[in-house]
């Protein structure tokens, strides 16, 4: 590693810059969910006009349990819901009339998508020439072999989780798998077709975005889903029972997000097994992430120093225990294989000396969340004057309420105290602007974010638009109603001009 460059964050953030957080699924459009089509390019044009250098997205993976992008059937997959069907129609794989059942505006309805979009995608596959040379190269590359086989088996088992499959398939009897593949090749190819189309469209979109001078920040979840091709194909790398159910599951103890902790349900890693293989599985996973994104945020970074595990079957995460993670050994293995990589560390949650040392040793910029800053503690690490250059400052993230939702939930006396602290921070930073009501407090929070010393400042699109709690993306520890937020229309040029002026005043253009 180039130590000096790492300490300044130069490997990740070359100069003072700004980003906007908006998941692809949250883009507007007429087919029930945001896609990699025209609206994505229109949003990139908006960022370019505003002088924004980074577009941050959530994991692009095929979602699974709870429709969460942090619970995928395969960690390196692309989400078929994000495929632009207008492009498939333009390529002759769909008729315009076949797109009508997909029309659905407003919040994302995953049940609707499951039934309607897959039906449309299967029609497109029925017209696709699987002997196409480019597709054959994709198939023969085997990058998605385990995923496609897993999905074909899952379909054959009525969608059941793999620990409930017939024993030869669950335990991966090679002869049984080969026979199944011969008998179900068409279904296997359908799932490869989806990944092929996703990858083609994403690479074209990324090239367009990069061509505007904008880099994409993606996300690598620390854990993978229990019912996933990752676990099914690599059972020895996880703490599982012989029947492939989890012995220990991941979560976090009680914190500011949840009084009973968060019980995620993901199987935890057997880090000794990973170390014995030189962290090869993780290296492949990191390589796959950087094939999609320019910069990668490591979700739940603290779990790489010490991680919290709970007995499978526990009702809450209150009675788990801490175990030692791989630390710098994992990053050393990744650097040997892939070179120096631009990471952002999601260093939120219970922090201790060990994870703080790991963050310093890695040199990765950490995250500073302004919604957590104004509690009256002068040593609060999220206060603007405590935010270092080598960090990423956010008003809030996808796990927070929107900033207006946050302000609206404060009782009058608490809001008065937060307002006074915001005013004091603005005076200290030389910022102008009055804070009258809760909406103006959100604008002040955004101004403080842009003016902070952090090399990169990122604001969720909900806070640009000053949307309330109805636009919240995710509520941790709540299993339903998340990940549904969508913009109703493209962002106006007037907002791009306003944002550009804000960024210019803070030297972030």
Beta bridge partners of residue 310, listed in sequence order: 249
7 pLDDT band, cuts 50/70/90, is: very low
Q: Which of residues 495 and 348 earns the better pLDDT score?
A: 495
Spatial separation of the C-alpha atoms in residues 509 and 502, rounded to whole Å: 9
Spatial separation of the C-alpha atoms in residues 406 and 172, rounded to whole Å: 48
Joined together, the tokens standing for residue 145 give 């072999």
Q: Which of residues 350 and 301 earns the better pLDDT score?
A: 301
Spatial separation of the C-alpha atoms in residues 119 and 25, rounded to whole Å: 19
Helix (H, G, I), strand (E, B) or coil at 367: strand
Does 480 score more than 90 pLDDT?
no
14 pLDDT band, cuts 50/70/90, is: low
Task: Determine the average pLDDT of the residues in 237-266.
Answer: 89
Task: Determine the average pLDDT of the residues in 176-183.
Answer: 98
- For 355-389, the pLDDT digits (tens) are 999 999 999 999 999 999 999 999 999 999 999 99
Give the pLDDT confidence score for residue 1 in this predicted structure. Answer: 34
Spatial separation of the C-alpha atoms in residues 299 and 347, rounded to whole Å: 8
- For 52-97, the pLDDT digits (tens) are 999 999 999 999 878 999 999 999 999 999 999 999 999 999 999 9
Give the pLDDT confidence score for residue 143 in this predicted structure. Answer: 97
Largest CA distance in the chain: 71
The structure tokens 């980074």 sit at 54
Q: Give one word for 508, left, alpha or beta, with left for phi > 0 and alpha for psi -120 to 50.
A: alpha
Query: Which of 352, 330, 324, 326 lies closest to 343, judged by CA?
Result: 330
Q: Which of residues 348 and 197 earns the better pLDDT score?
A: 197
Angle at 60 between CA 44 and CA 330, to 5 degrees: 115
Does 6 score more than 60 pLDDT?
no
Does 11 score more than 90 pLDDT?
no
Kindly report which listed range (54-58, 257-261, 422-426) carries the lowest average pLDDT score: 257-261
Does 350 score more than 80 pLDDT?
no
The structure tokens 């505003």 sit at 50
Helix (H, G, I), strand (E, B) or coil at 392: strand
| Percent of the chain clearing pLDDT 90 (strictly above) | 90
Does 282 score more than 50 pLDDT?
yes
Task: Determine the average pLDDT of the residues in 227-240.
Answer: 98
Task: Determine the average pLDDT of the residues in 107-134.
Answer: 97
Task: Determine the average pLDDT of the residues in 407-425.
Answer: 96
Does 468 score more than 80 pLDDT?
yes
351 pLDDT band, cuts 50/70/90, is: confident
Does 44 score more than 80 pLDDT?
yes
Give the pLDDT confidence score for residue 28 in this predicted structure. Answer: 97
In contact, 18 and 456? CB cutoff 8 Å: yes
Question: Pairing relation of β-strands 215-220 and 54-56?
Answer: parallel
Does 5 score more than 60 pLDDT?
no
Does 3 score more than 90 pLDDT?
no
Spatial separation of the C-alpha atoms in residues 11 and 146, rounded to whole Å: 33
Model pTM?
0.95
Joined together, the tokens standing for residue 39 give 């609206």
Give the pLDDT confidence score for residue 15 in this predicted structure. Answer: 84
Residues with active-site annotation: 299, 346, 399
If one counts every other C-beta atom within 10 angstroms of the C-beta of residue 164, the result is 13
257 pLDDT band, cuts 50/70/90, is: low
Beta bridge partners of residue 307, listed in sequence order: 323
Task: Determine the average pLDDT of the residues in 106-122.
Answer: 96
Joined together, the tokens standing for residue 79 give 């989400």
Map out the domains of the chain as residue ranges. Answer: 234-365, 410-453
Give the pLDDT confidence score for residue 145 in this predicted structure. Answer: 98
168 φ/ψ angles, rounded to the nearest 5 degrees = -60, -35
Task: Determine the average pLDDT of the residues in 32-55.
Answer: 98
Helix (H, G, I), strand (E, B) or coil at 393: strand
Q: Mean pLDDT of all residues in the chain?
A: 94
């Amino acid at each position: 590693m180039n130590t000096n460059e790492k300490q300044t964050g130069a490997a990740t953030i070359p100069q003072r810059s700004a980003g906007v957080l908006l998941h692809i699924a949250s883009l507007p459009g007429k087919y029930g969910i945001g896609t990699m089509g025209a609206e994505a390019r229109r949003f990139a044009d908006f960022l370019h006009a505003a002088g924004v250098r980074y577009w941050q997205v959530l994991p692009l993976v095929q979602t699974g349990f709870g429709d969460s992008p942090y619970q995928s059937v395969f960690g390196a997959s692309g989400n078929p819901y994000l495929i632009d069907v207008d492009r498939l129609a333009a390529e002759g794989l769909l008729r315009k009339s076949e797109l009508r059942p997909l029309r659905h505006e407003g919040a994302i309805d995953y049940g609707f998508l499951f039934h309607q979009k897959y039906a449309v995608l299967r029609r497109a596959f029925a017209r696709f020439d699987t002997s196409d040379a480019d597709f054959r190269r994709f198939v023969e590359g085997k990058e998605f072999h385990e995923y496609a086989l897993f999905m074909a088996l899952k379909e054959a088992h009525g969608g059941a989780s793999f620990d409930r499959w017939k024993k030869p398939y669950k335990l991966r009897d090679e002869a049984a798998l080969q026979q199944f593949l011969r008998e179900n090749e068409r279904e296997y190819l359908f799932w490869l077709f989806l990944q092929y189309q996703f990858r083609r469209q994403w690479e074209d979109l990324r090239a367009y975005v990069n061509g505007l001078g904008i880099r994409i920040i993606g996300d690598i979840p620390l854990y993978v889903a229990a019912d996933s091709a990752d676990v099914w194909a690599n059972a020895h790398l996880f703490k599982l029972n012989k029947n492939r159910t989890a012995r220990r599951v991941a979560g976090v103890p009680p914190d500011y997000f949840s009084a009973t902790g968060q019980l995620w349900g993901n199987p935890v890693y057997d880090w000794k097994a990973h170390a014995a293989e030189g962290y090869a599985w993780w290296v492949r996973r990191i390589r796959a992430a950087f094939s999609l994104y320019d910069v990668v945020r490591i979700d739940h970074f603290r779990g790489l120093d010490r991680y919290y595990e709970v007995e499978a079957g526990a009702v809450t995460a209150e009675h788990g225990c801490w175990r030692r993670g791989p630390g710098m050994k994992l990053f050393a293995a990744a650097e040997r294989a892939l070179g120096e990589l631009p990471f952002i560390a999601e260093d939120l949650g219970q922090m201790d000396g060990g994870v703080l040392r790991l963050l310093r040793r890695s040199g990765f910029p950490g995250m500073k969340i302004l919604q957590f800053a104004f509690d009256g503690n002068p040593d609060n690490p999220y206060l603007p004057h405590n935010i270092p250059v080598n960090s990423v400052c956010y008003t809030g993230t996808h796990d927070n309420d929107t900033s207006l939702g946050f302000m609206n939930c404060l009782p009058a006396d608490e809001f008065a105290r937060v307002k006074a602290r915001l005013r004091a921070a603005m005076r200290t930073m030389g910022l102008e602007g009055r804070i009258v009501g809760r909406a103006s407090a959100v604008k002040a929070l955004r101004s403080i974010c842009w003016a902070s010393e952090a090399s990169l400042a990122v604001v969720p699109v909900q806070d640009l638009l000053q949307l309330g709690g109805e636009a919240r993306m995710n509520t941790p520890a709540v299993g339903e109603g998340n990940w549904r937020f969508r913009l109703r229309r493209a962002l106006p040029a007037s907002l791009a001009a306003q944002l550009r002026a804000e960024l210019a005043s803070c030297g972030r253009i």
